[in-house]
Structure 1
Amino acid sequence: MFEAAEHDGQTAQRAGIPHSAGGDALTAQQLADAAQDIYMPVSAEGGRLLYNLVRATRPSHVVEFGTSYGISALHLAAAVRDNGVGHVITTEMSRSKAAAARRTFAATGLDDVITLLEGDALRTLAELDTRIGFLFLDGWKDLCLPVLRLLEPHLAPGTLVVADDVELPGLAPYLDHVRDTANGYHSVTFPVDDGLEISCRL
């Protein structure tokens, strides 16, 4: 999957597919449709870091914004499985990507610890009624802050919130939010590929 992702990442650059849904660009749904054949995964090192963080914190509920083909969800779910406790709730707007991810989850035997919510995450996650022990944000970058604000009432003190691709400009409002301790986070940037922002809910 990582080899396919590397090839598709080059294809996405040549095609000019953007990494955000804001401005006067495409809507989130239009972007999802345009990128339905493109892998947009966390890096291999980033995936290992996610696995370690979930193993260490042993959350009962892990939530992911942005599944794509499910590479990061596999790392999260493997950690949950190895912990012997927990469940992963992940989201995907693209119908074809969601179907492919479900097939992968079943093929790896991790489908019983993953729930995939298909559709607009701002709607599907609005119905969530559980404490979140770990949150990973890797969907369209300008939607990461709205998703975080939506889920903040479900974050207990000590919850880790991780966002991918800190170098992408669309993530700037999110980074401004979590890097300001007045907003209730202590944040550090971890230098993996495009960078992971790891924030602890205070």
Structure 2
Amino acid sequence: MDGTKFRRAIARSRLAPVAAFPKRFLRVARHDARVLNVSARWLFTSREHHNYTYDLTRLSREHLAWFVSVTCEVPVKQVRAYLDEIEHDDTLRQHIERATAAADRRGLADRRVRYARRIGWYAIVRATRPGHVVETGVDKGLGTCVIASALLRNAAEGAPGRVTSLDINPEAGYLAKAEPWATVVDLVIGDSIASIKALDRPVDLFLHDSNHSTGHERREFQTVEPKLAPGARLLTDNVTVTNVLAEHAEKTGRRFLAYRETPARHWYPGDGIGLAW
């Protein structure tokens, strides 16, 4: 019996799992070794304990560009230009580095600036030019700064806008309290549902990034719905965990699309962006 016939015979027999075990074991071992290597490096080089920051892989960044292009109906080349714009904003990057180094929580924050999927938020704001953005969940204010930077660029091109940033933590948003970004940021401390109800301006772009429980996410979208301007877009940072925004989109007659990021050189599997329009 030649080698090919022998392998086929083994594949048909009960010995097939045993014969394949060494090859399968090596593949798993190589994968786990890579994960452990990345995880160990992160443990000893990063200070972060939540809300992790990282770069995107090149492929993931390209998929993000197409996601924004499709959902915002702008050419993908223009979206790539927006992504380059935020990534090469040295003024913003240097501010975040300095503010992080001086912050009370500097022992739990990395000084290296990495935006991950937030560059997608930036591109969406640049592409849609909203007059009023509302985000729930601010933490340090990294995402707020990214959104504010996009709004400032829009204003310089004749399309001014503001972002209302909601968080229940009085210490939230310290990165976004410096000029010029603070000039377009309204930081509101309090419960997000109550704060949404109190909004006195139509909302062109809404981003859920606060309490990630299914119930709270659903209540935020239900509460903001009567506050939305015509053609408003809804975003969620919780799309890899729940189907809340997709269900809301279906109920309200919107389209929905999701993007899942792939972090580069990081153990965390990544989050994503859900968008309804």
Fraction of identical pairs, as percent: 24
Q: Counterparts of 1:23-62 in structure 2 under 5 Å? A: 44-62=115-133
Partner of 2:150: 79
Q: Report the residue type matching 2:177 in the other structure.
A: A
Partner of 1:140: 211
Partner of 2:232: 159
Select the residue among 228, 253, 256 that pairs with 1:184: 253
Q: Report the residue type matching 1:50 in the other structure.
A: W
Counterpart-to-counterpart distance in 1, 2:51 and 2:162? 33
Per-residue deviation, residues 38-65 of structure 1 (Å, max 9, x unmatched): 88xxx72311111111011111000001
Are the structure 2 counterparts of residues 150 and 115 from structure 1 closer, same or farther at C-alpha, using a change threshold of 3 Å?
same
Structure 2: which 5+ runs fail to align? 1-44, 53-104, 262-269
Compare CA radii of gyration and give the structure with the larger one: 2
Select the residue among 197, 201, 207 that pairs with 1:126: 197
| Aligned residues of 2:236 and 2:274 also touching (Cα < 8 A) | yes
Greater fraction of residues in strand = 1
Q: CA deviation at 1:10?
A: 8.7
Q: Report the residue type matching 2:256 in the other structure.
A: S
Select the residue among 132, 144, 169 that pairs with 1:94: 169
Q: Report the residue type matching 1:7 in the other structure.
A: E
Counterpart-to-counterpart distance in 2, 1:184 and 1:45? 30
Q: CA deviation at 1:198?
A: 0.9
Q: Report the residue type matching 2:161 in the other structure.
A: G
Counterpart-to-counterpart distance in 2, 1:106 and 1:9? 22
Q: Report the residue type matching 1:87 in the other structure.
A: R
Counterpart-to-counterpart distance in 2, 1:114 and 1:10? 21
Moved more, 141-150 or 79-88: 141-150
Q: Report the residue type matching 1:189 in the other structure.
A: A
TM-score by length of 2: 0.53
Aligned length: 161
TM-score by length of 1: 0.71
Partner of 1:194: 271
Are the structure 2 counterparts of residues 112 and 10 from structure 1 closer, same or farther at C-alpha, using a change threshold of 3 Å?
closer
Q: CA deviation at 1:155?
A: 1.6
Partner of 1:15: none
Q: Report the residue type matching 1:63 in the other structure.
A: V
Q: Report the residue type matching 2:223 in the other structure.
A: L
Are the structure 2 counterparts of residues 54 and 177 from structure 1 closer, same or farther at C-alpha, using a change threshold of 3 Å?
same
Per-residue deviation, residues 156-200 of structure 1 (Å, max 9, x unmatched): 3321111013222xx33444222x2x4222100012232210110
Counterpart-to-counterpart distance in 2, 1:6 and 1:185? 40
Q: What value does the CA root-mean-square deviation take over the aligned residues?
A: 2.4
